[in-house]
Amino acid sequence: MPLQVQTASPKRVMVIGGGPAGLSAAATAAGAGHAVTLYEKADSLGGQLALAGALDERSEFLALRDALIRQALAAGVNVQTNAAVDQKLVASVGPDVVILAAGGEPIRPPIPGVENANVVQAWDVLAGRVDVGKEVVIIGGGAVGIETAVFLAKIGTLDAHTLQFLFLNQAEDIDTLKALATKGIKQVTVIEMLPRLGADIGFSTRWVELSLLRRYGVKARTHTKAVRITPEGVMAEHDGATSFIACDTVVLAVGTRANTTLKDHMPAHMEVITIGDALKPRKAYDAIREGFAAARSLD
């Protein structure tokens, strides 16, 4: 349950964004007695937590999302989904305070050919909004790139229930079952400019995620830069030499930048507190703490 500390001067608070920062801020502010309405442009809450939890191995992010939603609703937050916010809406609502937690947006790097039809964002892949072909190249070997690679490489592998059934009934030998459980229908390659993959991941989590890459047969190329994208694949540079990696789809996973669209157009007289990825990309737990702190500062 959110912290219940009644404020002496309740305010009308407009929270924009239903990701971890926004949910945390909304629950904390409502728990303190403020009248809080949360606006989320998507049809569901959770923001990037839903993307982070797309892998079965990272389902704890979905549990965290669900817990934050329960806290907000229990605190009395008025939640509005499918609600895109603009200047006109902010002016019509006329809140005392706006907590801007509109999140970030994926970066589209200035690579020649990046606008081609065969180029998609990792976020759209993890959300199930796009289809990719059999051969995929992922540009970016950080956390999102690795998790997207595993997500794609697992497509077509045996699910746990089927694997258990075949194993218990001795339908196949162990080696065959292992192959069926780890060899999907897609060929995935990750390219990363840095010397190693997962530079933005903690030590223990990185070990697990790199193990998943190996287990599911994902190819990885470090010290490698994408210099051009064509309809047939990616031209890459490694140690001064270029090579061509053929693929059906190129997936961008090169990072996140703050979504400043609303921040730059807020009424000058309005008190606006910007938090989470809308201020600067950060980890989910840091965004949650920031949302709590922002709400407590209202008292």
- What percentage of the chain reaches a pLDDT higher than 90? 84
* pLDDT for 1: 46
Mean pLDDT of the chain: 93
The secondary structure of residue 75, as a DSSP letter, is T
pLDDT score of 65? 97
Place of tokens 């009308």: 12
Tens-place pLDDT, residues 270-285: 899 999 998 888 889 9
> Smallest Cα–Cα separation from 132: which of 140, 142, 124, 143?
124
Q: What percent of the chain has pLDDT over 70?
A: 97
Q: Give the Cα-Cα-Cα angle 216, 250, 157 (nearest 5 degrees).
A: 25
CA 293 to chain centroid, in Å, comes to 23
Please give the Cα distance from 250 to 190 (Å, whole number): 10
Query: If one looks up domain 108-252 in CATH, what number appears?
Result: 3.50.50.60
What local confidence, expressed as pLDDT, does residue 4 receive?
Answer: 54
User: What is residue 8's predicted lDDT score, i.e. its pLDDT?
Assistant: 59
Residue 261 confidence (pLDDT): 83
What is the DSSP annotation of 84-139?
---HHHHHHH--SEEEE---EEE-----TTTTSTTEEEHHHHHTT-----SEEEEE
Does the pLDDT of residue 299 top 80, yes or no? no
CB contact at 8 A, 277 and 286: no
Q: Would the pTM of this model clear 0.85, i.e. be above it?
A: yes
Give mean pLDDT, residues 132-150: 96
Pick the CATH number of 12-105+256-296 from 2.40.50.140, 3.90.550.10, 3.40.50.720, 3.40.640.10: 3.40.50.720
Looking at the predicted structure, is the pLDDT value of residue 3 above 90? Answer: no
pLDDT tens, residue by residue, 215-240: 999 999 999 999 999 999 999 999 99
pLDDT tens readout for residues 181-203: 999 999 999 999 999 999 998 89
Taking residues 118-122, what's their average pLDDT?
98
The pLDDT score that the predictor gives to residue 7 is 61
Tokens representing 58 are 């990272």
Residue 5 has pLDDT above 90, yes or no: no
Counted residue by residue, the chain has a size of 299
The model's confidence at residue 245, banded by pLDDT at 50, 70 and 90, is: very high
Map residue 187 onto helix, strand or coil: strand
State whether the Cα torsion 12-17-21-27 is positive or negative: positive
Q: Are strands 271-274 and 224-230 parallel, antiparallel or unpaired?
A: unpaired
* Contacts of residue 134, Cβ cutoff 8 Å, sequence gap at least 6: 185, 186, 187, 248
pLDDT at 2 over 60: no
Amino acid at position 166, single letter:
L
Given a cut of 50, is residue 262 above it in pLDDT? yes
How far apart are the C-alpha atoms of 13 and 94, rounded to whole Å?
9
Q: What is the pLDDT of residue 9?
A: 85
Model confidence at 160: pLDDT above 50? yes
Domain ranges of the chain: 12-105+256-296, 108-252
Concatenated DSSP letters of 192-237: -SSSSS-TTS-HHHHHHHHHHHHHTT-EEE-SEEEEEEETTEEEEE
Q: How far apart are CA 3 and CA 116, in angstroms?
A: 49
**What confidence score (pLDDT) does residue 264 get?**
79
Average pLDDT over residues 205-210: 93
**β-bridge pairing 249-252 and 135-139:** parallel
Could you tell me the two tokens for 22?
Answer: 């926004």
pLDDT at 260: 84
176: pLDDT strictly greater than 90? yes
